Chains A and B, each alone.
Chain A
Amino acid sequence: MASASVSALNSNSLENSSSKNVSRESLRMEPLTNIPYLPGEEKVTDKEIIYMCPFNGAVKGKVTITNYRLYFKSFEVDPSIILDVPLGVLSRIEKMGGASSRGENSYGLEITCKDMRSLRFALKQEGHSRRDIFDSLFKFAFPQSHNMPFFAFLSQEKFLENGWNVYSPINEYKRQGLPNEKWRITFVNEKYELCDTYPTILVVPFKASDEDLRRVAVFRSRGRIPILSWIHPENQAVIMRCSQPLVGMSGKRNKDDEKYLDVIREANGQTAKLIIYDARPNVNAVANKATGGGYEGEDAYQNAELIFLDIHNIHVMRESLKKLKDIVYPNVEESHWLSSLESTHWLEHIKLVLSGAIQVADKVSSGNSVVVHCSDGWDRTAQLTSLSMLMLDSYFRTIYGFEVLVQKEWISFGHKFSSRIGHGDKNHTDADRSPIFLQFIDCVWQMTKQFPTAFEFNEHFLITIVDHLYSCRFGTFLFNCESVRDSQEVKLKTPSLWSLINSNIEKYTNPFYTKDSSRVLYPVASMRHLDLWVNYYIRWNPRIRQQPQNLVEQRYMELLALRDQYLKKLEELQLSDSPRISNNSANSPVSPNQIVHQIQTQF
C-alpha cells in the first residue's frame, strides 16, 4: 500500500518519459495497451525508428505520432524505454544527415524540446524514410504555423472539477476585502478599450474616476495603468502594478499620472513616500527613454521614491537558461560543476528576483504602499508581484490559492504566454521567447524548499504546471491576454489545467503542509541556500534522481500508511473485546502477533 503512494510521488510529471526501468521508484508494470490516448487524440502516423538515447545508446523501437504527442517505445523489454512527449514541448525539428551521409545512424531527425532535453532519432537511409514523420511532426507540433487549432481545442477530456471556475476576479477581490471606501472596482476596460492586455475587471483608487484612468493610460506604456494587485488586510498597504511611464528623451510629465500615484499613496493613510520598484537595472531604465519609455523622475513624483531592482530582461534570461541546458543535458558537466553553474547566472537571476520580491513584501508588511513595474509590466512585474503576494498571503500557498495567483497575476494581467513560450509556432529563434514563467516557478520551488511545510502543494504540482505550460493540452496558458482568449472562447472550447489537478488533488498535495495563517515568509535570497532545481532541470538523467527532500516525503508517506494500518488494527482489536484477544485469533484472519510482524517488516 505504501508503494502506490510512492509511485504517485514520482516527480516526472509527464508520466515517465525516458528509460522506465532505470528509476527504482517506477518499477510498476507497463500496461500492454501502448499509447495512453487522450479523448480526442488521434493517431497520425507511426514508424520503426532508432532512438539515440544519450543514456542507453541506440534503441530500436516504434514511434507513433498523434495530434497530441510523440510516443516512442523500444522493442526491447528489459529495459523498456518509453518516450512520451507532447508535441507542444517541441521547439525545433531538424533533419540531420542526408541520404548519402555516412556513418551509422547519421540519418534522421533532431528535436529540441522546451523542457530541457533534446531527442535524436535515426532511420534507414532509403526511400525518404523520414519524410512522413518529419512532415507530420512539423505540422502537428506547430499548428499555429499551419492554420490548425491547438490540441486543447480538439480535446474531449472531461474532468470532475471545472478548473475554469477556480478564478473569479470579483470573488478574489472580495476575499481581499475589496471594494472598500478607498478602492473601487471599475469596468472601464470591459471592452478592452482602455488597455487590450488587461482584464475587464480592475481595482483602482476610489478617488480616481474612469476619466482619470483614461488620461493616465495615455502616459503608461500600452495603457497598462497602475492597478491594484493586493491589499494588506490590516495596514491597507497595497501592491500596484503597471508599465513604465512614457517619459521619453525630453522627460515628459503627465499631471494626471502624478496625481494618480499620489492618490494611491494617500489611500492607506500611513505611506509617507510611495515606493516605486522598477524591476530593471538603472541603465536599462535610462536606455528606455530613447524608445519613449523611462521611469518616474524625482521632480515629477515628489512623494515617491524610486528603487531599481536590477533584474535583467527576457533576452538575458533566455540565454541563461540555454547555458544551463548546456551543462545539464544530456550529461551533467563533469568537472568544475559549481563554476559552470555559476557561469550560467541562472541562480543569480533567481536570487535577484527573489530579493526584489522580498523587498516588496517587506515594505508592504510594514505598511508602505508600493508600485511595481518594469518596461511593459508583464514579465518581471508579474514575477515580483506574485512572489511577494506568495510571501505575504498564506492563501496563495494553498493549491487553489496558487491557481488563483497564477490565473490572476500572470494569465489575466497579460503575461504574454503565447509569445514567451511560442505555442504551436515553428519560429524557434523568435526573440520574444523567454523562460520568465519557468523562472517564477523556480523561485516558488526555492521557497518551498526553504519552507517545506508552508505550501499545500508539492514539487509534482510545480512540475506539472511547467509541463503543461508547453503541452497545449489545456487552454490555461494559451494566448497572450484575456481579450484574445475571449475571442477564441478558450473557456468554452478547451479544458483547464486546474481541472486535471483539482480532480486528483492528493497527488499534488504536500503531506507536510501545516496551515499557518498570518505569517509572512521571507526566504533567504543567498546563494548559500539557493539550489539548482535538479528534479526539474536534470530529471531526464537517470543517474540523478531522488533528491533528499523527496526521500523525506516518501518516508513520511510510508509512515503515514503505517500509522493508519496500526490505527485500523487497533480499532479492530478494540472491537473484538481486548481481554480475550489472544484466544480470538481463530475469528480474525490474522493473529495479532502476525500483525505486529507484518508491520515491522515495513520498516
Chain B
Amino acid sequence: MLSLGSGGGKAAKPSFISYVTPEEIKIKDGEISRKQKQPDLQPGEVIFCSAYPVLKCEGPQRGVYGTLCCTNFKISFISEESLSEETAPPLSNKLLGENDIALSCVDQIYGVRDEKKKLIIGGQVKNKYPPKLLIYCKDFRVFQFCLSYAKEEEAKKIFQGIVHHSLEPKSLKCAFAFSYCEEVLSPEVSKKIPATVMFESKDNWKLELNRTRSSCKVAHVNENYVVSERLPQYFAVPFAVSDEDIRKFKGQGVPLWCWSHSNGSALFKMSALPNVQDDGTSQVYQMFVDRMTNAVCQNQMYPVKTQDFSSGFLPLADLQQSYNKFKQFFLIDNTAEFWLSDVKWFSSIENTGWLEKIQECLNKATEIVLSLEEENSCVLMIEEDCSDLCCLFSSLVQVMLDPYYRTTPGFQSLIQKEWVVGGHSFLDRCNHLYQKEKESQSPLFLLFLECVWQLLQQHAPAFQFSETYLTVVSDSVHIPLFSTFLFNSQHQRDTATKLEYPDSQRHSLMIPSVWDWSLQFDWKVQALFTNPLYVEKPKQDKALRKPYRPKHQRQFSLPNSSSKPSPRKSFFKEETDNLKKMLSGMRIGKWINATEMQLSATRQFYESWQRKPLDYHGLILPCLDGPAIKIWLQRYLRWIPEAQIFGGGSVLTMKKVSDLAAEIEDLKNEMEKMAHNMHAGNTKKLFFSSFHAPTRLSSSFPFASLRTWSTRPVIPTSIVQSLGSVSNLAEKEDEDTEGVEVF
C-alpha cells in the first residue's frame, strides 16, 4: 500500500544516499531535538538541512514564520500558522503542499541584499548568504524567504543546500523517483491506468493500427534495443519496410508511422540520414530513401509530401530564448514591478516572440492537416533525430484531426505514443539534471501544450479535458517522481531502472507514470480536469466503434484544389510569402486589392472549413489571426495577487455550466431508472460542483488560495504617459467651437 502525504512527519528510514554529505546528515540529526515542525515526507525522502525561524514574506506587510528545509525531493516551508481547510487552495496536491517546491521546479534564485536583487548561480556560492532569498518556480510561484532571523550557521547551510540541490548538476540517479521507488514496493502502480495506452507493447500498437485502419505493421526487430537505443522496442512502419531495412542504418532513414487518416493518407516521421560528401555513399542513401518513400506512398497510391525540419525551421535554441523572455513577465515579486510592466504590456509580450512561435506551430500543423485531409497525401516529417519537432507536429496534427485524442485518455495515450515512447529527450530538453551546457534545453513539450490550449480556448466543446488539466500536466513535468517526463528514451529508462541485484520480487524499479493522477490528487480534485463544455460523442457512434466520423462530414471544396497537389506545390511556399512581403511593404491591399490578394493556403483552408457546420467530433482548425491567439492566463497569472479578479473570472460561468451538467446527469439517471424500472447506477458527481461559495472564487481558481482576499481594489500605479505622439491633440480644449467664456 502506498501511504502518501498521510499525517505529518512519517520519515522514512534513510537508506544510504551517496549525494548527502556526512555533514548534512549530522545537521539533520541535530534538528530533531528542536521543537519545530517537520515537513510531510514521501517514502524515500530525507531532509538535508533546515533553518528556523525563517520568515516567508507575503506581500509588503505580511509574513509568516516557520521552518525552511531542503530534502532530496523538495524545498519546504512549514508555517507556524496552521492552515485552515477553508483557505487552502482547491487544487491541493498530495505530493507537494502549498509551500513546497520540487527541486527541479526551481527556475531561478535571487539573493536580496539592501533591496538589490542578485541572481544566484549554482557552483559559485561563497560562504556568504543573502538575508533574503527569492525563489522563482517553473510553475510561476514566487517565494520570498527572509533568513536573517535564523541562526547564522543554519541560514548558511540552508542557503547553500538549496542552491546546491536545485541549481547544480546532478546525476540521473539523484532524481527523487529512484529514492521513492526503492521504498515503494508497489508493482501495480503504473498498471492502474487502464484507459491510457502506454504504447510499450506490440498489442498497443496493433490496436492503434486497427483503430485507424492503417495498413502499416508493427516492427519488433528492436526488441531489447538491439538495433537502436533511440527507438522504442516496438513501433509501426509501412508494410513494405523490412526488418533488414530497419537494421541497415540503425533505424535512420526509416519512416515511422504516426497516424492514419480514414481517407487512406497517413503521417510518418523519419530521422534523417547523415549528410555525406562521398558520392558513393550518398547514392546508396538516396536509393534507400527513395525506396522508403515508395513504401510510404504504397507504390504511388498516395502522393507524399515531405516536411523537412532539419533545415532550421523553429530552431530549438530560439524557442528556449523566446520562452525565457516570455516567462520573465510572469515572475513578478512586487506590485511596482507589476504595474511597470503593465505599461508596455502588449509590445513587451510581442517582443518575446513566444506567441508568434505558437502561431507558427499551429500554422505548420494546419499545413500538414491540409495535406492529409484535403490532398489525400501522406506526409513524411524528417528531422535529425525525429524526436523534437516531429513529436510536436505529429501530436498536434492528431489532436486536430482525431477526436479520440481530444478525450483525456486519448490525449494521454497520444503523449505516450508521440513523446514518451516516441523518444523525446525530456531529460535534456527540460534540463532536469541542471547540466551546465544548456543548449539542449528547449520547451518543446510546453509549446505543444500551449498550442493545445489555443485550440481548447477556441473550440472548448471539442475537448474532454479542461485548461486546469493542461496546466497541471505542464506543472507535472517538473515533479521528478514520474517516469513519464524523466528520461531521454525508453532505453534510458529501462537501463536506469534495472536493478543491479534483482531481488526475488522484481527486476526493475517501477517508477510511477504521471497519468496515475491519484498519486497527486484525490478524485475530488481530479474532477477539475473535466471540461464541462465537452460535447460528448453521441452513443450510436460509439457502438460502431469508428475512430471518428467518416469524411463525408466535411467535404471541403477549396477553390482549385484537386486531389493532385503538385501544381500548387510551389505556390504553397515561396509565392505567397513573396506576395505577402510585397503587400505588407506597400500597405496596399487594404481595399480592392484585399480580395485579390492571394490568401495563404492554410488561411483558405481555414476559411472553407469555417464555412461548414461545426462538428466537434471532426476536424478542428485554429484561427491564427492576431486577436485569436491569447496568453494562457491561467497558467501564467494564477499566482500574481495583483492580477487576481476577486469573485470574477471565467470560472464563474464554468461552474454554472458544470452544475447544470451535473443536474442533467442526475435527471438522466433518474429517468433511466424510471424507464427501466430499476436502480440507476451510482450518480457520478462530475466536474467541480463540490466547490461551492461562488464569492470565494477568483480568476486564479483553482490555484492560488484566497487567503489574501481583499476588499480593496488594486489600483494601477505608475501609469506612465506613453501618449506623447498625440500631444498636440491632448492639449486641445474639449470644445473647440464654443470655448469657455473668459471671465
Interface residues of A (CB under 8 A from B): 21-22, 24, 27, 52-58, 105, 120, 221-222, 246, 248, 252, 281, 283-284, 287-288, 291-293, 310, 312-316, 319-320, 330-342, 345, 347-348, 351-352, 355, 358-359, 361-362, 374-376, 379, 431-432, 450-454, 512, 514, 516, 519-529, 532, 534, 538, 542-545, 548-549, 551-553, 555-556, 559-560, 562-563, 566-567, 569-570, 573-574, 578-579, 581-582, 592-593, 595-597, 599-601, 603
Contact A335 B645 (CB under 8 A): no
Contact B713 A596 (CB under 8 A): no
Kindly identify which residue among B644, B653, B656, B731 contacts A287, using a CB–CB cutoff of 8 Å: B731
Q: With contacts defined as CB atoms under 8 Å apart, how many contacts are there between chain A and chain B in the complex?
A: 307
Q: What B residues does A22 contact at CB under 8 A? A: 610-611
* In the complex, residue of chain A having the shortest beta-carbon distance to the beta carbon of B663: A563
Kindly identify which residue among B343, B647, B670, B719 contacts A521, using a CB–CB cutoff of 8 Å: B647
Nearest-Cβ distance from residue A184 to partner chain B, whole angstroms: 29
Contact A563 B667 (CB under 8 A): yes
Kindly identify which residue among A314, A523, A527, A593 contacts B346, using a CB–CB cutoff of 8 Å: A527
* In the complex, residue of chain A having the shortest beta-carbon distance to the beta carbon of B536: A603
Q: What B residues does A338 contact at CB under 8 A? A: 346-347, 349-350, 355, 626
Contact A339 B346 (CB under 8 A): yes
Instruction: Tell me if B1 is interfacial: C-beta within 8 Å of chain A.
Output: no
- B600-612, CB under 8 A of A: which get 1 and which 0? 0000001100111
Contact B344 A556 (CB under 8 A): no
Kindly identify which residue among A520, A581, A593 contacts B674, using a CB–CB cutoff of 8 Å: A581
Q: What A residues does B591 contact at CB under 8 A? A: 52, 54, 120, 330
Per CB-CB distance, the 10 closest pairs between chain A and chain B, nearest first, are A337-B626, A522-B713, A592-B675, A527-B345, A342-B346, A338-B350, A57-B595, A338-B346, A566-B667, A315-B729
A-B contact pairs, 16 of them (CB 8 A): A22-B610, A54-B594, A248-B743, A283-B731, A312-B730, A334-B580, A337-B625, A337-B626, A337-B629, A375-B733, A376-B735, A451-B648, A453-B652, A527-B343, A552-B533, A560-B660
Known: A339-B350, A556-B656, A570-B670. A312 touches B663 (CB 8 A): no
Give Cα distance in the complex from A548 to B349, angstroms: 21
Q: What B residues does A432 contact at CB under 8 A? A: 735-737
Q: What A residues does B711 contact at CB under 8 A? A: 520
Give Cα distance in the complex from A324 to B50, angstroms: 56
Known: A432-B735, A563-B667. A544 touches B642 (CB 8 A): no
- B632-665, CB under 8 A of A: which get 1 and which 0? 0100010000111111111011101100110110
Give Cα distance in the complex from A348 to B335, angstroms: 19
Q: Which of B24-32, B261-269, B422-430, B453-461 contacts A (4 or more CB under 8 A)?
A: B453-461
* In the complex, residue of chain B having the shortest beta-carbon distance to the beta carbon of A570: B671
Contact A514 B742 (CB under 8 A): no
* In the complex, residue of chain B having the shortest beta-carbon distance to the beta carbon of A522: B713
Kindly identify which residue among A316, A538, A551 contacts B627, using a CB–CB cutoff of 8 Å: A538
Give Cα distance in the complex from A52 to B731, angstroms: 39
Give Cα distance in the complex from A21 to B612, angstroms: 9
Kindly identify which residue among B540, B653, B664, B731 contacts A566, using a CB–CB cutoff of 8 Å: B664
Apart from the given pairs A248-B742, A337-B627, A543-B623, 19 other A-B contacts in the complex at a CB distance below 8 Å: A24-B613, A27-B613, A292-B742, A316-B726, A332-B626, A352-B719, A375-B734, A522-B714, A523-B645, A528-B345, A532-B627, A548-B457, A552-B654, A556-B660, A559-B657, A559-B661, A600-B538, A601-B540, A603-B537
Kindly identify which residue among A292, A526, A556, A601 contacts B653, using a CB–CB cutoff of 8 Å: A556
Q: What B residues does A361 contact at CB under 8 A? A: 713
Kindly identify which residue among A315, A342, A545, A548 contacts B344, using a CB–CB cutoff of 8 Å: A342
Give Cα distance in the complex from A316 to B730, angstroms: 6
Contact B663 A573 (CB under 8 A): no
Instruction: Tell me if B82 is interfacial: C-beta within 8 Å of chain A.
Output: no
Contact A555 B657 (CB under 8 A): yes
Nearest-Cβ distance from residue A25 to partner chain B, whole angstroms: 9
Give Cα distance in the complex from A522 to B723, angstroms: 26
* In the complex, residue of chain B having the shortest beta-carbon distance to the beta carbon of A553: B653
* In the complex, residue of chain A having the shortest beta-carbon distance to the beta carbon of B345: A527
Contact A312 B660 (CB under 8 A): no
Contact B733 A330 (CB under 8 A): no
Q: Which of B344, B536, B652 has the most CB of A within 10 A?
A: B652
Give Cα distance in the complex from A573 to B592, angstroms: 62
* In the complex, residue of chain B having the shortest beta-carbon distance to the beta carbon of A332: B625
Give Cα distance in the complex from A351 to B650, angstroms: 20
Instruction: Tell me if B539 is interfacial: C-beta within 8 Å of chain A.
Output: yes
Instruction: Tell me if B722 is interfacial: C-beta within 8 Å of chain A.
Output: yes
Give Cα distance in the complex from A291 to B736, angstroms: 11
Contact A574 B674 (CB under 8 A): yes
* In the complex, residue of chain B having the shortest beta-carbon distance to the beta carbon of A218: B743
Known: A292-B741, A352-B719, A362-B715. A543 touches B625 (CB 8 A): yes
Contact A597 B623 (CB under 8 A): no
Contact A559 B664 (CB under 8 A): yes
Instruction: Tell me if B83 is interfacial: C-beta within 8 Å of chain A.
Output: no
* In the complex, residue of chain B having the shortest beta-carbon distance to the beta carbon of A365: B711
* In the complex, residue of chain A having the shortest beta-carbon distance to the beta carbon of B636: A528
Q: What A residues does B654 contact at CB under 8 A? A: 552
Q: What A residues does B203 contact at CB under 8 A? A: none
Q: What B residues does A543 contact at CB under 8 A? A: 606-607, 610, 623, 625
Q: Which of B584, B606, B716 has the most CB of A within 10 A?
A: B716
Give Cα distance in the complex from A569 to B670, angstroms: 11
Q: What A residues does B538 contact at CB under 8 A? A: 600-601, 603
Q: What A residues does B729 contact at CB under 8 A? A: 313, 315-316, 319
Give Cα distance in the complex from A596 to B623, angstroms: 35
Instruction: Tell me if B712 is interfacial: C-beta within 8 Å of chain A.
Output: yes
Q: What B residues does A319 contact at CB under 8 A? A: 726, 729
Q: What B residues does A431 contact at CB under 8 A? A: 736-737
Q: What A residues does B742 contact at CB under 8 A? A: 248, 291-292
Q: What A residues does B539 contact at CB under 8 A? A: 597, 600-601
Give Cα distance in the complex from A600 to B633, angstroms: 33
Instruction: Tell me if B721 is interfacial: C-beta within 8 Å of chain A.
Output: yes
Contact A331 B590 (CB under 8 A): yes
Q: What B residues does A375 contact at CB under 8 A? A: 733-735, 740
Contact A566 B743 (CB under 8 A): no
Q: What B residues does A341 contact at CB under 8 A? A: 346, 626
Contact A566 B719 (CB under 8 A): no
Kindly identify which residue among B339, B533, B672, B695 contacts A555, using a CB–CB cutoff of 8 Å: B533
Nearest-Cβ distance from residue B92 to partner chain A, whole angstroms: 25
Q: What A residues does B461 contact at CB under 8 A? A: 551, 555
Q: What B residues does A320 contact at CB under 8 A? A: 726
Give Cα distance in the complex from A519 to B623, angstroms: 37
Q: What A residues does B741 contact at CB under 8 A? A: 292
Contact A246 B694 (CB under 8 A): no
* In the complex, residue of chain A having the shortest beta-carbon distance to the beta carbon of B654: A552
Instruction: Tell me if B614 is interfacial: C-beta within 8 Å of chain A.
Output: yes
Instruction: Tell me if B732 is interfacial: C-beta within 8 Å of chain A.
Output: yes
Contact B592 A358 (CB under 8 A): no
Question: Which residues, 659 to 707 on B, are CB-close (under 8 Å) to A?
Answer: 660-661, 663-664, 667-668, 670-672, 674-677, 694-695, 699
Instruction: Tell me if B314 is interfacial: C-beta within 8 Å of chain A.
Output: no
* In the complex, residue of chain B having the shortest beta-carbon distance to the beta carbon of A447: B648
Give Cα distance in the complex from A544 to B637, angstroms: 26
Nearest-Cβ distance from residue B211 to partner chain A, whole angstroms: 22
Known: A246-B740, A292-B743, A526-B642. A332 touches B350 (CB 8 A): no
Instruction: Tell me if B535 is interfacial: C-beta within 8 Å of chain A.
Output: yes
Instruction: Tell me if B739 is interfacial: C-beta within 8 Å of chain A.
Output: yes
Q: What B residues does A567 contact at CB under 8 A? A: 667
